[in-house]
Amino acid sequence: MSPARGPDGAVPAKLSVVGVTKSFPSPRGTVTALDHVTLDVGEGEFVCLVGPSGCGKTTLLNLVAGLEAPDSGQVLSDGKPVSGPGSDRMVMFQESALFPWLNVMDNVLFGLRLRPGLDRSSRRGYAHYYLRMVGLDRFRRSAVHELSGGMKQRMDEPFAALDALTREQFYGDIQRIQGERRRTVILVTHNVREAACLGDRVILLSAHPGRIREEFRIDLPRPREFNSVELAQESGRIMAALKGHMAPERDAAEEAGGE
C-alpha cells in the first residue's frame, strides 16, 4: 500500500525539515553536521536516509525528535514547529534501551505511562496489542534476560547484529505492520538493500557537511522480498549513485588535507 496522496499527487507533509543547518564544536574547530537540509515526509510514508558515516543522518533524527535544536531553519510536525520531544514523535536509538529490572510487559508500559489520557486498563490493552503484533504477548511476564537476542530486538533496535534469517523475517514483519498501521517513519541505515526493501523513498546524504544529494522513489509492490532480483536492481541503482557522490567528495577531502 502506498501513502495517501492529495489531488495534485503529492503526499501531505507530516514532517518538514526546512533549510536546517546544525553544527557542533570540536577540538579542531566547528563541525557542520547538516547544511541547509530541506525534506518533506508525507503522512504514512516510510523514508530511509542513507549515506557515509558522518553525513548527519543521526543528527537529523535527533532534530526531528526534538532532542536537539537546529542552528538555523526549522523542523515542523503537522505544520507546527518542533521545540522539544513530544508524544506525537518517537525515536528508537541505536543502543539498547530496555530496562533489565522490568519484565517485558512493564517495559512496554513504561512509555505508555507517559502518554496523557490513558487509564491503567487502556495502557495494558495497548501493551497487549503491540506485543501480539510482534509475537511476544506470551512472553509478557518474562524478564528481559530470559528473551533471546531476536526477541529483545523486536522491542528495541530491531536490525543490529541479526543473523540473515531473522533479519529477513523482521523485514517482512515491519512491512506487514506498516501496511496495517500506516505510521510515518524515518529510518537511518547503512544498508542500501535494506533501505530499498523498506522505504517508499531513499534519500542520499553527502558527508561533511550533510546535504541531500539525491532521492529515489521505490515503486516495487509490497511485500518486497529481500533477495529478489528486482530489489537487487533497485539497490544497485542507489549504490551506484552513492559511490558516484562519494568519489568527488573523497578527492576534495584529500586535496584539502594536502594543503
What CA–CA distance (Å, rounded) separates 106 from 116?
Answer: 17
Mean pLDDT of 23-32: 86
Q: Which amino acid is at 72?
A: S
Task: Report phi then psi at 232, rounded to 5.
Answer: -60, -40
Percent of the chain with pLDDT over 90: 52
Q: How confident is the model at residue 19 (pLDDT cuts 50, 70, 90)?
A: very high
How high is the pLDDT of residue 200? 96
Give the strand pairing for 72-77 and 80-81. antiparallel
CA angle 124, 182, 114 (to 5 degrees): 35
Mean pLDDT of 199-210: 91
Sole residue written with cell 558516484: 244
Mean pLDDT of 141-165: 72
Which residues make Cβ contacts (< 8 Å) with residue 56, sequence separation at least 6? 22, 33, 34, 37, 205, 209, 210
pLDDT at 179 over 60: yes
Task: Report phi then psi at 131, rounded to 5.
Answer: -65, -40
Which residues make Cβ contacts (< 8 Å) with residue 20, sequence separation at least 6? 34, 36, 37, 38, 60, 63, 70, 72, 73, 74, 75
Mean pLDDT of 14-35: 91
Helix (H, G, I), strand (E, B) or coil at 5: coil
Helix axes 120-133, 104-112, angle to 10 degrees: 120
How high is the pLDDT of residue 205? 93
Helix (H, G, I), strand (E, B) or coil at 154: helix
- Which of 52-56, 62-66, 239-243 bottoms out in mean pLDDT, i.e. has the lowest? 52-56
> Given CA atoms 83, 89, 92, 94 in this order, what sign does their dihedral have?
negative
Comparing 145 with 152, which gets the higher pLDDT?
145
How crowded is residue 129: how many other Cβ atoms within 10 Å of its Cβ? 11
How high is the pLDDT of residue 55? 86
- Which of 28-32, 44-48, 199-203 bottoms out in mean pLDDT, i.e. has the lowest? 28-32
pLDDT in tens, 75-120: 999 999 999 998 888 888 766 678 999 999 999 999 888 888 889 9
Q: Which three cell numbers stand for residue 51?
A: 549515506
Q: How confident is the model at residue 15 (pLDDT cuts 50, 70, 90)?
A: very high
Mean pLDDT of 26-50: 92
Which residues make Cβ contacts (< 8 Å) with residue 244, sequence separation at least 6? none
Name, of 39-48, 110-119, 158-167, the range with top average pLDDT.
39-48
Round the average pLDDT of the chain to a whole number and report it: 85
Tell the CATH topology of 13-95+172-258. Answer: Rossmann fold (3.40.50)
How high is the pLDDT of residue 3? 54
What CA–CA distance (Å, rounded) separates 49 from 200?
Answer: 11
What residue ranges do the domains of the chain occupy? 13-95+172-258
How high is the pLDDT of residue 54? 81
pLDDT in tens, 211-239: 999 999 999 999 999 999 999 999 999 99
Percent of the chain with pLDDT over 70: 85
